[in-house]
Amino acid sequence: RKEVEQDPGPFNVPEGATVAFNCTYSNSASQSFFWYRQDCRKEPKLLMSVYSSGNEDGRFTAQLNRASQYISLLIRDSKLSDSATYLCVVNMRGSARQLTFGSGTQLTVLP
């Protein structure tokens, strides 16, 4: 079983739609969680960290469910510019492997 699993998609949604991605992780000792965004043929960039209490940044909301070992990303009122691959990233503190990346979920927002 992969340490971090995501639905690869693709998710094709119309502009203005709300879309949600989930990500599950296998190691219950995992300490910190992130969503990175990767545009086509570009490098990944940090979108947001995910906190236990949940956190919001504009149209983006991230949530963590430790009991079920998953994190989620919700995008409201999606824009064409949100089209990208979203990578779920997990860090188990003290792990020599540092950050573990999911394979990514591809989102295309259609006009």
| Interacting residues with another protein (CB under 8 A) | 32, 34, 36, 42-46, 49, 87, 91, 96-104
Q: 1 or 97: whose CB is closer to another protein?
A: 97
Q: Closest separation between CB of residue 76 and another protein, Å?
A: 24
Q: 53 or 98: whose CB is closer to another protein?
A: 98
Residue by residue, DSSP assigns 56-107 as EETTEEEEEETTTTEEEEEE-S--GGG-EEEEEEEE-TT-TT-EEE---EEE
Residue count of the chain = 111
Q: 96 or 111: whose CB is closer to another protein?
A: 96
How are beta strands 11-14 and 105-110 bridged, if at all? Answer: parallel
- Write out the two tokens for 53: 């209490």
Q: 4 or 75: whose CB is closer to another protein?
A: 4
Alpha-carbon dihedral angle through residues 50, 24, 38, 57, given to the nearest 10 degrees? -30
